[in-house]
């Protein structure tokens, strides 16, 4: 069965002056216009094509890659606002509609938003929505703490940032887990921090457990050795400087150097850290 809004593997069945027709099964033949026909194409070939509706609402095929398919999320730019909604650039000739009813708040021309692509059941047309919670669950049981995941930052709240997890769920990164600037639309690697009792997903970019602190501590020692046993990067330093050098939060850095101090491997004062092994 032909899948609207996704790539389909279809047979070329007829050549016409303006392109080729492909076998769309129950939906009949589907036109692949000349401007996207691969070189050397002929009747009998099998092609991977994306299926959507053109500006005249006809089902059409293309070999171009859209920026997202149905059932996926993407960060897309609004190129126009009309009486029916906002239209987004998704890499195809016909722009992608976000109806007003699918907008959490009014979208603005020139701005970009994370949207979810879906196929309307009544019209069979592709549309998008900023109402991600209507399509992606916030409750999950399939993840484990420390599991690596892919994140798409999709919104900001008073507690932190919302993120799409592996393209399928919504989770939250709390403010205290953010150690470098992030923005809506960023794609970042992350981890499952925990699954709460209500099933909601807490996310993080790093761990503050004993194992992680031990690894960071050794990085700090190596950095001290590389700089003659001295560093001006203390627990009083700006978080941005700490993140730039070690890619960790200020809180994680403070815990690591605190552990090194207790082990008597370093000396601390307001302006510098000194490696004990290098003293004497």
Residue 170: CATH number of its domain = 2.40.50.140
Q: What is the DSSP string of 6-33?
A: SEEEEEEEEEETTEEEEE-GGG-EEEEE
- Quote the domain boundaries for residue 257: 210-278
Q: pLDDT for 209-259, tens place per residue?
A: 555 556 788 888 888 888 888 899 988 888 888 877 887 777 788 888 888
Report the pLDDT value the prediction gives residue 278, as an integer from 0 to 100. Answer: 47
Of 19, 41, 62, the domain-final residue = 62
Q: Are 108 and 98 in contact (CB under 8 A)?
A: no
56: Cβ contacts below 8 Å, ≥ 6 apart: none
d(CA 151, CA 141): 17
Asked if residue 140 is part of any domain, the answer here is no
Length of the chain: 280
Of 62, 81, 104, the domain-final residue = 62
Is the alpha carbon torsion for 185, 55, 81, 107 positive or negative? negative
Indicate whether 220 and 273 sit together in one domain. yes
Q: pLDDT for 125-166, tens place per residue?
A: 899 999 999 999 999 888 998 899 999 999 999 999 999 999
Indicate whether 173 and 192 sit together in one domain. yes
Asked if residue 171 is part of any domain, the answer here is yes
Indicate whether 197 and 181 sit together in one domain. yes
Indicate whether 126 and 152 sit together in one domain. no
Instruction: Indicate which CATH number applies to the domain containing 273.
Output: 1.10.10.10
- The total domain count for the chain is 4
């Amino acid at each position: 069965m032909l899948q609207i809004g996704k790539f389909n593997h279809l047979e070329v069945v007829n050549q016409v002056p303006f392109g080729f027709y492909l076998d769309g099964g129950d939906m009949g033949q589907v036109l692949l216009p000349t401007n996207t026909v691969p070189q050397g194409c002929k009747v009998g070939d099998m092609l991977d094509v994306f299926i959507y509706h053109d500006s005249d609402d006809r089902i059409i095929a293309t070999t171009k890659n859209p920026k997202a398919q149905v059932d996926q999320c993407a960060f897309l730019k609004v190129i126009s606002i009309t009486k029916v909604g906002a239209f987004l650039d998704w890499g195809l000739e016909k722009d992608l509609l976000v109806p007003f009813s699918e907008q959490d708040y009014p979208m603005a021309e020139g701005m970009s938003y994370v949207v979810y692509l879906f196929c309307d059941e009544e019209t069979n047309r592709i549309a998008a929505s900023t109402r991600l919670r209507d399509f992606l669950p916030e409750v999950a049981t399939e993840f484990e703490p420390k599991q690596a995941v892919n994140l798409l930052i999709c919104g900001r709240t008073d507690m932190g940032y919302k993120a799409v997890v592996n393209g399928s769920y919504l989770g939250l990164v709390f403010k205290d887990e953010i150690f470098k600037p992030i923005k809506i639309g960023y794609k970042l690697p992350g981890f499952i921090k925990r699954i709460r009792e209500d099933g909601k997903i807490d996310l993080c970019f790093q761990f503050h457990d004993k194992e992680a602190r031990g690894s960071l501590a050794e990085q700090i020692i190596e950095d001290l050795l590389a700089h003659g046993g001295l560093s001006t990067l203390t627990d009083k330093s700006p978080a941005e400087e700490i993140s730039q050098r070690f890619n960790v939060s200020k809180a994680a850095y403070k815990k690591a150097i605190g552990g090194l101090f207790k082990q008597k491997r370093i000396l601390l004062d307001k302006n510098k850290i000194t490696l004990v092994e290098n003293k004497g």
